[in-house]
Amino acid sequence: MMYDNLELLLRLLIAHVLSDFIFQSSKWVDNKNSKKVRSKYLYIHIAITFILTYIALGSWQPLWIPLVIGVSHFAIDLLKLYIKESPWRFIIDQLLHIIVIVVCWLLYTSQFNVLSTEFTFGWDSPKVLIYIASYISVTIPTSILVNELIKKWDLEVNGDKSDKSDSLRNAGKWIGIIERFLIITFTLLGKFEPIGFMLAAKSVFRFGDLKNSKDRKRTEYVLVGTLLSFAVSIIVGLLTIQIVKIL
């Protein structure tokens, strides 16, 4: 089912991007982080958010939308300033802003019933659940599977010490999860060419630091893990396609 007034939602989202990223300099952000509620730039930023949201409506009414978005934006930003800085702080901050915008749009266009109907249908649809299960399976479960399959070589390659100071903490895990998300997406879309490009690109970056190394075992160890990760993602994607066809 199609939603009404999608252009209004897009205008509100564009206004948010403009106020939060384009019309807010790093100087403002630093000042807000240091002075918090006493920063004048916090209030200037909220004023800009209100004005851009009001302009995005394209109408003198309703005034409650920029008011709700402006007040909630102030509350969310203020809360963020008192939370320890981390990637999750930024992600949650943006998600909360977007949720407020979407809720305002749904209320204004009286489409909550449409959303609830589609949400209920999604959870009742086996196909949707299959897709969700497939994407979940290529995250942590696949990481554990690959680690278990190559564990027998871990001691031989890394020795009896677990010094990984030359690499970012958990970087390998996140690289694997992101690449498997991309691979299963390309597989479901039937686009296998980007997968080959990803494998070639990863080989260049991952093995570039090993080209002068005498440790051939480490190169083979990394290559086996990479190929297993790719293989599992492609297999899960192909199985998902076949299961969806049957349903």
DSSP conformation letters of 46-90: HHHHHHHHHHHHTSS--THHHHHHHHHHHHHHHHHHTS---HHHH
Tens of pLDDT, residues 118-137: 555 556 678 888 988 999 99
Q: Whole-structure pTM over 0.75, yes or no? A: no
pLDDT at res. 1: 44
The reply to whether 117 and 129 lie within a common domain is no
Task: Map tokens 């939603």 to a residue.
Answer: 3
Residue 166 to residue 159: CA distance in whole angstroms: 15
E strand or H helix at 201, and its extent? helix 193-207
**CB 45, CB 85: distance < 8 Å:** no
Rounded to whole angstroms, what are the CA distances from 1 to 8, 131, 138?
17, 20, 30
Residue that terminates a domain, selected from 100, 121, 142: 121
The reply to whether 77 and 183 lie within a common domain is no
Rounded to whole angstroms, what are the CA distances from 145 to 142, 149, 183, 185, 229?
5, 6, 17, 20, 9
pLDDT at res. 82: 93
Structural domain boundaries, residue 44: 6-121
Domain membership of residue 20 (yes or no) is yes
48 alpha-carbon distance from chain centroid: 27
Residue that terminates a domain, selected from 121, 136, 156: 121
**CB 15, CB 56: distance < 8 Å:** yes
The reply to whether 133 and 84 lie within a common domain is no
The reply to whether 117 and 207 lie within a common domain is no
Residue that terminates a domain, selected from 121, 154, 175: 121
How many domains would you assign to the chain?
A: 2
pLDDT at res. 6: 84
Closest-CA residue to 57 (of 47, 43, 67): 67
- Tell me 212's DSSP state: T
Q: Is the dihedral of CA 59, 65, 70, 73 positive or negative?
A: negative
Domain membership of residue 1 (yes or no) is no
Residue 24 to residue 9: CA distance in whole angstroms: 22
How many angstroms separate the most distant Cα atoms in the chain? 71
Residue 74 to residue 68: CA distance in whole angstroms: 10
The reply to whether 95 and 133 lie within a common domain is no
The reply to whether 94 and 31 lie within a common domain is yes
Residues of the chain where predicted confidence (pLDDT) is lower than 50? 1-2, 214
Closest-CA residue to 232 (of 126, 149, 108): 149
Residue 176 to residue 141: CA distance in whole angstroms: 11
Non-local (6+) Cβ contacts of 48 within 8 A are 19, 23, 24
pLDDT at res. 205: 66
